[in-house]
Homo-oligomer: A and B are copies of this chain.
Amino acid sequence: MSFTIEFQPMGIRLICNDPLTLLDASRQAGISLRSDCGAAGICGKCIIQIVRSSGEYPSTENERTFLSNKQISDGFHLACETVISDDLKVHVPAESMNTSQVLQVEGNSNVAQPEPLISQKMVKLKEPALNDLLSDLSRLQQTANIFSLDASLEVVRRIPQILRNMNWEANLIVREGELLNVIPHPLSNLLGLAVDVGSTKLAVYLMDLATGEVLAAKGVPNPQIAYGEDIMARLYYALKEKDGASKLHSLLMKSINQVAEELCTRIGNAPTEIVDACLVGNTAMHHFFLDLPIESLAFSPFVPVLSDALDPHSSEIGLASMPGGRVHAPAVIAGFVGSDHLAFLLAEGFGEDGHVRLGIDIGTNTEIALQKGDKVVSVSTASGPAFEGAHIRFGMRAAPGAIEHVKIDQHGKVQTQVIGDQPPVGICGSGILDAVSELRRHHLLNSRGRLDRSASGVQLDERGKPYFSLAGSITLSQIDIDQILLAKGAIRAGIDVLMNYLKVVPNEIEEVLIAGAFGSYMQPDNAIRIGMLPEIPLSRIRAVGNAAGTGARMMLVSKTARKKANALAKRIEYLELTVYPEFPMFYARGIQA
């Protein structure tokens, strides 16, 4: 059973299937609520107001600490404490939001001022007569006063019947001098679809191109997961199986089309009213959604087939939208730095000023970019899936039952916080990061990354290997810790290479932007303590949520954003770590605890 959360004043609607906290929901909707404590219920920043609901929401103990009685009776809550499972309308006070995100979502900042490529124009033509013999297309061009209008044969074939059925009135859908379609009536909204095609999750946003508003949004799992957990597994599947690539392409498009249709239905429209689209993703996803051959991505040196932006007809990639419509596929940077990274950098203002700024998107491959002056340099580092919970005995994704935060107090007692406030069943990335950091802080883990077998709390398994108990049966073993140190070492080595290349020292970095879900949950002080990040003042570190989705939405609604993204893509210099002379040294140093 699905339910809908409506966020005001943004007008975003999110459709959910499983119970989740309002904080999680807001993140899925691309709204970045403040959450200084990482959803621990202890900072009191993520205040929202439930304006309308079908269920009951009694206040929690943490809420009573931060909210006045008046606020409680007016429906105010902490978003991180409020688990919802029914239709809800929520008002988000401006002071509860990370400012830059507010602007990006509402689209009224100067970075995403709506400036759509698509426009519509209703025209009333003079009926042809023996003394007025213009062809149908020339008549349209003359009346609409756009003589340079190009039209494909496909759309020309549609014109005569519509004109004659509609008594010589028609609505033109125009994209920068190209006549995309001719339809009987004006569209109430010019709908656009922005999709962040993640390896794990598809974030789909249905937008009003004229206002830049998100009208509805939904996240669904990437259905390709059934054919491989990570990108390499899917590439090998595509190569190994007959029509494997084509099957993975179809699966993806089917899923996007289903969500698009669902979102359209929800707001009373049809997918044929989607007049523009922008799809971003890592380079493998980019090749899958464009149905490009993927052989070259599977083997060294991992070059893309296509790196520049392309605007194919949506029918060429099987996207179900308006006939004649096009889809914008922004540029990719390299085999492991995709258009999602470009979108992230665009959303966070890379290329706009000369500030020293670091952008990190942590995943199985972690993309990192460093800007200094007019230079933007990016790397991709094979950090592996440890922070996504894979290759960790009790590891899991950030989902109900996952330990998302760990604290060890001065008595050695372990405090955990579990998503969904239920008995723990595993531990997710942010919990793993916390755990390692806390073990290190309490010297249960030495600088070489070895658990101290003599310490209390550190136990030995039947083969004599040390492990640490977190909660119930959930433990963290030496092997788990090794995985985590390799992952954070790869990330840190990437950062160090960039700093080395651009001659930047940590204190010069004015801003660190961490994208993705893990970035939102991760405690920056712990990330610094275990050495994943260099020593940068905490106030300069900011989680930016699904910034790739934000960038995709910006490019969807704005010509200028597309131009900026193209210019940024040309400016970004990609460094291949495996041939960077100092990389092995940085990596060796990075994997230390």
B316 near A136 with CB under 8 A, answer no
Closest to A329 in B: B153
Contacts A307-B137, A335-B133 known; A296 to B576 CB distance under 8 Å? no
B134 near A307 with CB under 8 A, answer yes
Interface string of A372-414 (1 = CB under 8 A from B): 0000000000000000000000000000000000000000000
Interface residues of A in 543-575 (CB under 8 A from B): 574
Query: For the complex, what is the distance from the CA of A295 to the CA of B128, rounded to whole Å?
Result: 14
A130 interface contact, C-beta 8 A: yes
Which of A4-12, A154-162, A462-470 lies on the face that meets chain B? A154-162
Contacts A128-B301, A131-B579, A293-B161 known; A153 to B307 CB distance under 8 Å? no
Q: What is the total number of copies of this protein in its complex?
A: 2
Interface string of A130-160 (1 = CB under 8 A from B): 1111111111000000000000111011011
Query: For the complex, what is the distance from the CA of A375 to the CA of B307, rounded to whole Å?
Result: 51
Contacts A301-B130, A305-B159, A576-B130 known; A152 to B312 CB distance under 8 Å? yes
A334: chain B residues within 8 A (beta carbon): 133
Contacts A310-B153, A579-B130 known; A160 to B335 CB distance under 8 Å? no
Contacts A305-B156, A312-B152 known; A136 to B576 CB distance under 8 Å? no
Give the distance to chain B from A298, nearest Cβ to Cβ, in Å: 11
A128: chain B residues within 8 A (beta carbon): 296, 301, 303
Interface residues of A in 325-355 (CB under 8 A from B): 332, 334-335
Give the distance to chain B from A553, nearest Cβ to Cβ, in Å: 23
A295 near B135 with CB under 8 A, answer no
Query: For the complex, what is the distance from the CA of A576 to the CA of B130, rounded to whole Å?
Result: 7
A305: chain B residues within 8 A (beta carbon): 135-137, 156-157, 159-160
Give the distance to chain B from A61, nearest Cβ to Cβ, in Å: 55
Closest to A296 in B: B160
Contacts A154-B316, A290-B153, A295-B160 known; A303 to B576 CB distance under 8 Å? no
Interface residues of A in 278-303 (CB under 8 A from B): 290-293, 295-296, 300-303
Query: For the complex, what is the distance from the CA of A582 to the CA of B316, rounded to whole Å?
Result: 54
A40 interface contact, C-beta 8 A: no
Contacts A303-B128, A306-B137, A308-B138 known; A164 to B578 CB distance under 8 Å? no
A317 interface contact, C-beta 8 A: yes
Residue from the list B157, B292, B301, B310 in contact with A133, Cβ < 8 A:
B301
How many chain A residues touch B (Cβ–Cβ < 8 Å)?
47
A316: chain B residues within 8 A (beta carbon): 152-154
B576 near A307 with CB under 8 A, answer no
A1: chain B residues within 8 A (beta carbon): none
A292 near B157 with CB under 8 A, answer yes
B317 near A153 with CB under 8 A, answer yes
Residue from the list B161, B303, B310 in contact with A136, Cβ < 8 A:
B303
A226 interface contact, C-beta 8 A: no
Contacts A135-B304, A136-B305 known; A292 to B156 CB distance under 8 Å? yes
A312: chain B residues within 8 A (beta carbon): 152-153
A303: chain B residues within 8 A (beta carbon): 128, 133-136, 139
Query: For the complex, what is the distance from the CA of A160 to the CA of B292, rounded to whole Å?
Result: 9
Query: For the complex, what is the distance from the CA of A134 to the CA of B574, rounded to whole Å?
Result: 10
Query: For the complex, what is the distance from the CA of A131 to the CA of B138, rounded to whole Å?
Result: 52
A137: chain B residues within 8 A (beta carbon): 305-308
Give the distance to chain B from A189, nearest Cβ to Cβ, in Å: 28
A157: chain B residues within 8 A (beta carbon): 291-293, 305
Contacts A157-B293, A335-B133 known; A138 to B307 CB distance under 8 Å? yes
Give the distance to chain B from A162, nearest Cβ to Cβ, in Å: 10
Give the distance to chain B from A107, nearest Cβ to Cβ, in Å: 29
Query: For the complex, what is the distance from the CA of A293 to the CA of B293, rounded to whole Å?
Result: 37
Query: For the complex, what is the distance from the CA of A137 to the CA of B308, rounded to whole Å?
Result: 9
B135 near A307 with CB under 8 A, answer yes
Closest to A283 in B: B135
Query: For the complex, what is the distance from the CA of A291 to the CA of B152, rounded to whole Å?
Result: 13
Query: For the complex, what is the distance from the CA of A304 to the CA of B163, rounded to whole Å?
Result: 13
Query: For the complex, what is the distance from the CA of A136 to the CA of B307, rounded to whole Å?
Result: 8
Please name 20 further chain A to chain B contacts, defined as beta carbons within 8 Å, in addition to the given A128-B296, A157-B292, sorted by A numbering.
A130-B576, A130-B579, A131-B576, A131-B579, A132-B301, A133-B302, A133-B303, A133-B334, A134-B307, A135-B303, A136-B296, A136-B305, A137-B308, A139-B303, A153-B292, A154-B316, A156-B305, A159-B305, A160-B293, A164-B296
